[in-house]
Amino acid sequence: MTRDDERQAPVICVVGARPNYMKMAPIIRALAAHRPPLATLLVHTGQHYDSAMNDRLFDDLELPHPDVNLEVGSASHAVQTAEVMKRFEPVIDEHGARAVLVVGDVNSTLACALVAAKRDIPVVHVESGLRSGDRRMPEEINRVLTDQISDVLYTTERSAHDNLAREGVADERAVFVGNVMIDSLLANRRKAVAPAELLANAGLSPALIADGYGVVTLHRPSNVDDPETLGPIIDALAEIGRRLPLVFALHPRTRNNLERFGMKARLDESGFVVLPPQGYLEMLGLMAGATMVLTDSGGIQEETTALGVPCLTIRENTERPITVDQGTNTLVGVDPAAILAAADAVLAGGGKRGRIPELWDGRAAERIAAHLARWLDAHDKARSDA
Ligand code: UD1
């Protein structure tokens, strides 16, 4: 490929798993709206493939259908990452790539960044620099490695810059732009599905939640893969459920494990409102109307902060400290007594209200498009001058 071809080539935008879609939707729109527009090619690795985890969200977010689907599916981390790499490289051969843009911290993020870096194609990472400090989290490995090989690193909070500096990433590569996930939230807030309507559509009585409710999501391997951890968490939630009805949107990993451990009946007996993974607009409506959200998700910690809804995070650490320092998030850990005490405190006192972090204003993707267009022009020029 000649230098001229390179300049005509698209920015390849990669998504793989559910939390990527709400980050990519505003970016694709902003790159298209930029003048002159930046050409993109949307690649889906197929890491998530269930309709509930996937197609619904594309429609809700008005994310265009992927140009290419690599259909890797589920596998061990090694196999999944390797398959994405093997299948992604021919896409670059066929279409060329002016840059490869990845978001978040899933296996697909690292796999495609690595392929691009070895081909000397600029890697652009959106949501850089977040660190939980816990290398047992698969996402933490993906974050650290992706940032090391990225050329342009867009950050959501200022603490990310300290993390990157500690790891020797030059500060001129990192740009604080705000949070694209909040761009999606603000763009879709008014389209959110009312919780009562959602329950009615699921064949359940809206009366179940008429006097307030909490929302639960759990899917981290550290919480759901071991019955010794999952069992007590479910018991604590069941106890909270006696004071406040809990709507539990069940991730496939958690559903499979509950069945495998013979714990599924405990959910049904404890009066949870159990639902399959929800669409984006349904989840937004559920969170916005909730008394509190109990979760181990990364993105939901940010979304609840943006919505001003108290969030109890069932983890020992967070890579998103601004949600605790400024937002509505409280880290409660996995000890059942601590989870229960934190929920009781919210019920008694209303919980944290927080404030909106800097640049979580719905315009992060616009800032990315403006910066990236300039960066790519300068990069291409430097290459052709060389
Ligand atoms: C992945 C991400 C995680 C993200 C989460 C959101 C990594 C390392 N993890 O975790 O950061 O928060 O997505 O959901 O990339 N499954 C289905 N249908 C699907 C997808 C998965 O049934 O469409 C089941 C399969 O049994 C699979 C399991 O869920 O083995 C786990 O899926 P996987 O993509 O490997 O990881 P997640 O736990 O979803």
pLDDT by residue for the chain (386 residues), tens only, comes to 665 666 689 999 999 999 999 999 999 999 999 999 999 999 999 999 998 888 889 999 999 999 999 999 999 999 999 999 999 999 999 999 999 999 999 999 999 999 999 999 999 999 999 999 999 999 999 999 999 999 999 999 999 999 999 999 999 999 999 999 999 999 999 999 999 999 999 999 999 999 999 999 999 999 999 999 999 999 999 999 999 999 999 999 999 999 999 999 888 888 899 999 999 999 999 999 999 999 999 999 999 999 999 999 999 999 999 999 999 999 999 999 999 999 999 999 999 999 999 999 999 999 999 999 999 999 999 999 98
**Residue with CA nearest ligand 1 atom 22:** 252
Tell me the three state secondary structure of residue 129. Answer: coil
Shortest-distance atom of ligand 1 to CA 298 = 12
The question of whether 219 is a catalytic residue gets the answer yes
Ligand 1 pocket: which of 14, 18, 48 to mutate (most atoms within 8 A of CB):
48
What pLDDT is recorded for position 4? 63
Q: Would you state the structure tokens that stand for residue 117, as one six-digit string?
A: 């870096």
**Residue with CA nearest ligand 1 atom 35:** 74
Listed in order, the ranges of the chain carrying CATH 3.40.50.2000 are 3-178+360-385, 193-349
Ligand 1 pocket: which of 18, 51, 74, 84 to mutate (most atoms within 8 A of CB):
74
Closest CA to 372 of 3, 12, 1, 2: 12
Closest CA to 305 of 248, 353, 361: 353
Helix (H) or strand (E) holding 306: helix 299-307
CA pair distance 276, 203, nearest whole angstrom: 13
**Residue with CA nearest ligand 1 atom 33:** 74
What pLDDT is recorded for position 1? 60
Q: Would you state the structure tokens that stand for residue 167, as one six-digit string?
A: 């790891």
In b/e form, how buried is each residue of 365-383, taking b as 16+ CB within 10 angstroms?
A: bbbbbeebbebbeebbeee
What pLDDT is recorded for position 386? 85
What pLDDT is recorded for position 267? 85
Residue 161 in contact with ligand 1 by CB distance below 6 A = no
**What is the dotted CATH code of the domain comprising 193-349?**
3.40.50.2000
- Among residues 48, 161, 219, 251, the one annotated as catalytic is 219
CA pair distance 189, 211, nearest whole angstrom: 22
Residue 48 in contact with ligand 1 by CB distance below 6 A = yes
Residue 98 in contact with ligand 1 by CB distance below 6 A = no
Ligand 1 pocket: which of 47, 102, 142, 255 to mutate (most atoms within 8 A of CB):
47
Distance in Å, CA 51 to ligand 1 centroid: 13
CA pair distance 274, 218, nearest whole angstrom: 12
Closest CA to 361 of 153, 193, 192, 181: 181
CATH 1.10.3720.10, applies to 3-178+360-385: no
